[in-house]
Structure 1
Amino acid sequence: MTSLTEFFNKHEDETLKGISHKNSLIKRNIIAHMAINGECTLSELTKELHISVPTITKLVQELVDENIVSDLGKVETPGGRRPNVFGLANSAIYFAGVNVGRDNMRFLITDLQNNIIKEENDFTFELQDRPQCMERICTSIEEFIANCGIDRGKILGLGVCMTGRVNPETGRSYKYFTSSEQSLRDLLEERVGIRVLLENDTRARCYAEYTCGKSKDDRNVLYLHMGRGVAIGIVVDGQLYRGKSGFAGEFGHIPFFDNEIICSCGKKGCLETEVSGIAIEDKMCRMIEKGVNTILREQYDQQKTIHIDDIIAAAKNDDNLSIELIEEAGEKVGKAVAFLINTFNPETVIVGGNLAAAGDYIMLP
């Protein structure tokens, strides 16, 4: 095997045939089982994968020789012969991840244990539906992977999550970069040369919380993301729910309010127009222009903009206006969450995003 990327990206109709093809598929299943379940013995693999002991023994040894699987030695048992336990070598496989946010990009390399090997942030980035922005995304990913210090052949895949309507099956964003006949996923794969998974940012966060957070034992979970926008991720019976077209979770664009504020989606009165980070920023700017006192006045006079993170920091510094605006948003979004609870009856509702950092100022209302 020349690289894990090639190993996992081989299609069923390519060069491998017969026994070689079957063994390649079994080895993929062994790796996948260890990635999900962790260390295991040969007998456990035989039972879970329904493969004979001689075949499992042979293929696991091949993976050990290829430095993909490690022989971790004998495991203690109540009696009888002690079996060897095997696990994936952390240095065998890596994953790259990119979050394309509205006003920043974040780049990560992780190993099989979800340890962050490399991390970079670009806070000068602004997401715009323009070819120049697409070029910057591609160039930034290429530079990060080239300089991350990891052998490119060991990077199994690139996960890209971004805001807006995203269908991971078609690999398309239906809000950004829609003019090309190629899907966004295919464009990125062509440029970067690594298999790409495209996902909505809120669903990606929901999946991360569900698989790695405190709620991983629950089967029905809602993740409410309160950043500069508002959206939800949905886990039903242990599975991430995307909906027919991959657009499930656009909670912020439900018209909850009878106001004349036009949302980014083009409708009036969406939940986002009152409780999102952008809505709170706009309210703060309007209140400052009306002369309401706040410790953010000097910053606004200099920059003419206020970010939601600045408002949260001011609230924690006992700024009354910031506290009032966050509490008002908390009360309104709480009523919307009550609608979700009555509809989905989840075991857990997780609140994330910028506004989660406001703590009791957002949660108590």
Structure 2
Amino acid sequence: MQQKEYLVGVDMGGTKIAIGLLSVDGEMIKEIRLDTKGHEGPEIVVNRVVEAINALSEGYEIRGIGVGVPGIVDTDHGIIRYWSTFDWRNVHLGQMLNAQLDKKITVVNDASAATWGEFNFGAGQQSKNMLFMTISTGIGGGIIFERKLYTGSNRLAGEIGHVTVNPNGPTCNCGKLGCLEVYASGVSIQRHAVDAIKKCTSMLVEMEKQEQRPIDTKMVFAAYESGDLVAQEIIEQAATYVGIVLANFIQTFNPDCIVLGGGVMKTTSRFMEKIEEVTETYVLPSYRNTYEIRRSQLFENAALIGAAHLIV
């Protein structure tokens, strides 16, 4: 017997859009991925998303559609206030989707959506107070407080990537100096490596020649695993700043669980181990053994699943 109602989750990324049909208990029934092409403008992107949702959900009764989007999101009104990747401002995404789909639409920040997904169906299950950090192209995060998604007075909570770790550091895309994101995001790790090999000897130079492609984050982690000193300095600097930020959050709101997701966390277990080591070093002794740091279980599906289940 076919289940009566299903959910649709949408994860709008800078490169790809993932759309999934899900059961109410989190099972992925089927999924579609398409290129974002956000430079074409919101209307064209929305039309392609609607077409994909209709194809995916044909023959199914849909309760609602949850959409996770990077940037500053006005969830109450379904508006993308600002998405820096494509310079989208005040895009009434919920209204645009509803006009064509006539379904309940929820639009949320993608990191908040991923937080909810991990809490309910991933590595954060059974926790009461959880911190989620996604380390990917950029760095985002979310907070579960007393088993509820905490978004703050203006729904802006969770901008972990823009916590200042070095007030004399490089300028971040947000305009501030020394944000965590300028040291530990995938893009920043790659950029630091490109700059470093201009001044230092590194196996990254040879790797770039052999693979006949520019240095990327995966290449930096491969060099790190092989003992390259330049890569080691970059990766361990990233892990150190992540660990310091986690220690501060632990002492601020005392979570029992910290979940780390995003593409960078798929690279090597040594990175995770270094983060754990630094966190324990910087946290006060009374907080040790009060938390557990876990790797994401859902990874690229976290935001999709979480966005869908925020409409339940």
Q: Is the contact between residue 90 and residue 111 of structure 1 (CA under 8 Å) also seen in structure 2?
A: no
Which is higher, the Rg of structure 1 or of structure 2?
A: 1
- Across the aligned residues of Structure 1 and Structure 2, the Cα RMSD in angstroms comes to 2.5
Tell me the alpha carbon deviations over residues 181-233 of structure 1, each in whole angstroms, 9 at most, x when there is no partner: xx222122224433211111111111111111243222111111111111221
Whole-angstrom CA distance in 1 between matches of 2:80 and 2:116: 19
Query: Are 1:103 and 2:103 matched, yes or no?
Result: no
Name the structure 2 match of 1:250: 159
Name the structure 2 match of 1:150: 58
Name the structure 1 match of 2:29: 117
Distance apart, 1:311 and its partner CA = 3.9
Distance apart, 1:322 and its partner CA = 4.1
Equivalent position to 1:133, from 20, 36, 41: 41
Tell me the alpha carbon deviations over residues 101-150 of structure 1, each in whole angstroms, 9 at most, x when there is no partner: 1222211111223221111223x4355xx5x2313421331221232263
Q: Secondary structure at the match of 1:175?
A: strand
The AA in structure 2 aligned to 1:125 is T
Q: Secondary structure at the match of 1:249?
A: coil
Q: Is the contact between residue 68 and residue 110 of structure 2 (CA under 8 Å) also seen in structure 1?
A: yes
Q: Secondary structure at the match of 1:157?
A: strand
Q: Is the contact between residue 218 and residue 267 of structure 2 (CA under 8 Å) also seen in structure 1?
A: no
The AA in structure 2 aligned to 1:326 is I
The AA in structure 1 aligned to 2:69 is M
Equivalent position to 2:69, from 133, 150, 162: 162
Whole-angstrom CA distance in 1 between matches of 2:79 and 2:90: 11
Q: Secondary structure at the match of 2:48?
A: helix
Structure 1: stretches of 5+ with no match in the other structure: 1-88
Whole-angstrom CA distance in 1 between matches of 2:49 and 2:26: 20
Residue 274 to residue 218, structure 1, CA distance change in 2 (3 Å): same
Whole-angstrom CA distance in 2 between matches of 1:92 and 1:228: 38
Q: Secondary structure at the match of 2:8?
A: strand
Whole-angstrom CA distance in 2 between matches of 1:171 and 1:120: 23
Aligned 1:301-316 pairs, distance under 5 A: 302=213, 304=214, 306-312=215-221, 314-315=222-223
Q: Is the contact between residue 259 and residue 269 of structure 1 (CA under 8 Å) also seen in structure 2?
A: yes
Q: Secondary structure at the match of 1:106?
A: strand
Whole-angstrom CA distance in 2 between matches of 1:336 and 1:279: 17
Distance apart, 1:274 and its partner CA = 1.1
Equivalent position to 1:282, from 184, 191, 207: 191
Whole-angstrom CA distance in 2 between matches of 1:274 and 1:126: 27
TM-score (structure 1 length as normaliser) = 0.66
Residue 96 to residue 311, structure 1, CA distance change in 2 (3 Å): farther
**Identical-pair percentage:** 26
Residue 147 to residue 317, structure 1, CA distance change in 2 (3 Å): farther
Number of positions where the alignment pairs a residue of Structure 1 with one of Structure 2: 267
Distance apart, 1:90 and its partner CA = 4.9
Whole-angstrom CA distance in 2 between matches of 1:241 and 1:235: 6
Tell me the alpha carbon deviations over residues 239-277 of structure 1, each in whole angstroms, 9 at most, x when there is no partner: 110001111001111222133522111112111111111
The AA in structure 1 aligned to 2:203 is N
Distance apart, 1:94 and its partner CA = 1.5
Whole-angstrom CA distance in 1 between matches of 2:250 and 2:121: 23
Name the structure 2 match of 1:217: 126
Q: Is the contact between residue 228 and residue 308 of structure 1 (CA under 8 Å) also seen in structure 2?
A: no
Tell me the alpha carbon deviations over residues 56-81 of structure 1, each in whole angstroms, 9 at most, x when there is no partner: xxxxxxxxxxxxxxxxxxxxxxxxxx
Whole-angstrom CA distance in 2 between matches of 1:106 and 1:299: 33
Aligned 1:1-365 pairs, distance under 5 A: 90-122=2-34, 124-125=35-36, 127=38, 130=39, 132-148=40-56, 150-151=58-59, 154-176=61-83, 177-179=88-90, 183-290=92-199, 292-294=202-204, 296-298=207-209, 302=213, 304=214, 306-312=215-221, 314-315=222-223, 318=226, 320=228, 321-365=230-274
Whole-angstrom CA distance in 1 between matches of 2:32 and 2:246: 33
If asked which structure has higher relative contact order (CA below 8 Å, sep 6+), I would say: 2
Whole-angstrom CA distance in 2 between matches of 1:125 and 1:285: 27
Whole-angstrom CA distance in 2 between matches of 1:300 and 1:101: 27
Whole-angstrom CA distance in 2 between matches of 1:245 and 1:300: 47
Whole-angstrom CA distance in 2 between matches of 1:299 and 1:111: 46
Whole-angstrom CA distance in 2 between matches of 1:256 and 1:173: 28
Residue 142 to residue 238, structure 1, CA distance change in 2 (3 Å): same
Tell me the alpha carbon deviations over residues 259-302 of structure 1, each in whole angstroms, 9 at most, x when there is no partner: 35221111121111111112112112223444632154138864
The AA in structure 2 aligned to 1:147 is A
Structure 2: stretches of 5+ with no match in the other structure: 275-312
Runs of 4+ that moved beyond 6 A = none
